[in-house]
Amino acid sequence: MTHGETVRAAIEELRKALGSLENALDMRFDREREHGEVEGEVRRVNADRSRLAQELDQSEFRANRLEEVNREVSRRLVTAMETIRAVLDR
């Protein structure tokens, strides 16, 4: 192999190595970008979960309050019906 052929072969090997390096860098950047996208999605899911948990707590509070009011209304209706019966029975 002549000196010129050796240099050309070395240059070709260098080109292949640089191409491999570029591919590896591209793959790394793609993984980093995907990782960033996943982290963003996790943040959004956590924010949604927090919001939904708060809404659930508020709904449970309202449901408990409505249940209390319902019991009170029921108690008053029973009292009113008993009063009406007592009046009608006289």
pLDDT at 2: 84
Question: The whole model's pTM is what?
Answer: 0.55
pLDDT at 71: 96
pLDDT tens for the chain, 90 residues long, are 787 788 899 999 999 999 999 999 999 999 988 888 989 999 999 999 999 999 999 999 999 999 999 999 999 999 999 999 999 988
pLDDT at 84: 95
Q: In the 3-class helix/strand/coil scheme, how is the chain assigned residue by residue? A: CCHHHHHHHHHHHHHHHHHHHHHHHHHHHHHHHHHHHHHHHHHHHHHHHHHHHHHHHHHHHHHHHHHHHHHHHHHHHHHHHHHHHHHHHC
